[in-house]
Amino acid sequence: MNLYLQVDNGTIKKAAFRGEGCSISMASASMMTELLKNKTLTEAASYRKAMENLIRRGHIPESIDLGDSMALQGVHALRARHNCALMTWQALDRVLKDHQEYTNFL
């Protein structure tokens, strides 16, 4: 799975993914890319953390609206499928870290 983000002044203008996977990973990737459009990188990091807490711990976020991604809350009970739901979110985490390292380098 490849994740593509167009970032302008710290805001995600476009988000897309390319790849194949199980239905959970594809649904999660699709919902994530829609959720991230026009969000700041800081907001994206908050969404990523909230999604991981939802899937791995079953914690439903109170202050963050995950939108359609909430449909994946049942995956929490399917431990073997956690990585499916979080694959693209983990790619987002890498993009955010790379962006921060690049910004700090400048």
Dist CA 106 CA 92 (whole Å) = 21
Domains and CATH numbers, the chain: 2-105 (3.90.1010.10)
pLDDT the model gives residue 77: 97
The alpha carbon dihedral of 23, 68, 86, 37 has a sign of positive
CA distances in angstroms from 58 to 63, 71, 82, 84, 106, listed in the order given:
15, 12, 11, 15, 39
The HSE-up count of residue 42 (CA atoms within 13 Å, CB side) is: 2
**Higher pLDDT residue, 99 or 39?**
39
> Is the whole model's pTM more than 0.85, yes or no?
yes
Tell me the pLDDT band of 101, cut-offs 50, 70 and 90.
confident
Lowest-confidence pick of 42-56, 60-74, 88-102: 88-102
Tell me the pLDDT band of 39, cut-offs 50, 70 and 90.
very high
**Are 41 and 96 a contacting pair, CB within 8 Å?**
yes
